[in-house]
Chain A
Amino acid sequence: MPKKYETPLLDELEKGPFPSFVTEIKKAAAKSDMAADELGQLEKSYRDKRGYWKHGGIVGVRGYGSGVIGRYSSLPDEFPNVANFHTVRINSIAGFFYTSKFLKEACDIWDKYGSGLTNLHGSTGDLVLLGTNTENLEPIFAEFSSRGWDLGGSGSAMRTPSCCVGPARCEWSNIDTLDITYSITQEWQDEMHRPAFPYKFKFKTAGCAVDCIASIARADCSIIGTWKGNIAVDQTEVANYAKNGMNIQEEIVNMCPSKCMSYDGKELKINDADCVRCMHCIAKMTKALKPTGEKGATILIGSKAPFVIGATLSWVIVPFMKMEPPYDEFKDLIRKMWEFWDEHGKNRERIGELIIRKGMREFLEYIGVEPQAQQVKEPRRDPFFFWTEADLQK
């Protein structure tokens, strides 16, 4: 029987309507010595208002440099079963689809070799197995990989790519987000499992500008589906929305950022040449409005959380790229970016930070992308700019 800790503070977090993580830890703690000590240590953190985990060390499975994050308790004598309590990242399925068969197998393996605690999912999108001892790592890897599952990324490597639900269950997707995610994951297994980059590199793929995967804020490379063509309007469905109480003038026309719509009470008109494809009208009137024409993606680079230079959103690099299997044009572009980063990046420098340090021009020239007005909000405002010898000859 695992040790039973008194947890008066954490017990307070079992009250209230929202499902409780404390209840989850307690369920695992009834069966697992590791989960029991996790619970005990967490209660102590709540009492002392501080964490008791140490930095990760180098730990992993044979042949891989990523997929496992070392975690050690700073109170190993008090909580010996979490003295080492590592995270294992399992590469999730594109779109986060699962079958009960897999989930049950995963639970059996994890109860046998780990704490029984998981995150579905971690922030990057891995299926996270939360806490196990060093000696269990190889067995866990053997059990999962023999069933066709692999580890995700960690450290200075390509991280597990993730995507929105896309064409699997959404009418707005302009690209096959699941297939792109699967394809780049398979293409770059070595880059995921053997860290060789200056720092982490994340991909997120969104089917449209609604961006349900937060790609523009959370991925070094954001792939956002878009189109070149008109929005087809079904006026009968427009009339139905009006009949059902939608104030089309107020809720749709007035909220259009490019002021490209008009409505006379009968007909909704769109000046497609002025549309910036923000998705508001389509999202609110999904039965009436459909993008038509060529589908593809905008490729943006550089978003990340605040360290070191402050948070960034991704910048438009390629305004439009066709995204069709095997995605060679996209993959070649990424390889060039990685080459640039490999050549110039400092240790722990994200690609976005490098672009700021070296200048966007140097980056664009290296990867072979022409300057385009879609890449900027506005041209530079100060009169300081570079001319190369080649520019002077033009």
Chain B
Amino acid sequence: MEKIAYRPESLRDVPFTYCPGCMHGVAHRLIAEAIDEQGLINLMTGVAPVGCSVFAYKFFNFDMAQAAHGRAPAVATGMKRARPDMHVFTYQGDGDLAAIGTAEIVHAANRGEQMSVFFVNNAIYGMTGGQMAPTTLPDMKTTTSPYGRDTDDIGFPIRVCELLDTLVAPYYIERVSLLSTPDIIKAKRAVSKAIQYNKEGRGFTFVEFVSTCPTNWGLDPVQSREWARENMLPFFKLGLFRDKGEGAE
């Protein structure tokens, strides 16, 4: 009998630390499959953030670093400059990348650092228990916006792809979602492209995943995906922002 479903070699056989219904495992798998497909496992390294995916350094099957909150793109810069023969990615959530690490992501992108950044946007801080994120939607309730995000007081959510798309250097920027099987298949194509460009040394590649947080949203996994489709996608529009490899700028 042929085995058609198996763990990618780039993922270690260790228990993940994510809640039931969380999409981090799916995102990890897409990245690991793409690394396997590009034959990069021996030359790959990555940086885990602070947040729910803080333990990602345990999950990938090659050397990994764990960075201070928001600093992953700076750490990855140091790694790539020290080991130009290796390929590096960062894996970051919305609080890590779009709040405390805003300077690091903008400047790594602006330098066109040779790295792939995978950004998981679920509009909330998961690990610390559901606080307001820089991508929390207007009027959305969190533990630190208990009356709903007041945009007059705290501003609107940050659209990171659009922000980075104002810079000259980035090579590839795309926003995808993990909200349905067809969306996940599309997301896989984006991840593969980012890893392929990374392998070819084309420059800075960025993939944003619109995702969910059933635990802190207080919804079950299916309701979470429906909620995200209805509420997140109108604000965080899916699509390709830039692909210099295909002449799309």
Our verdict on whether A and B bind, yes or no, reads: no
Taking beta carbons and an 8 Å cutoff, which residues of A are in contact with B?
A: none
Taking beta carbons and an 8 Å cutoff, which residues of B are in contact with A?
A: none
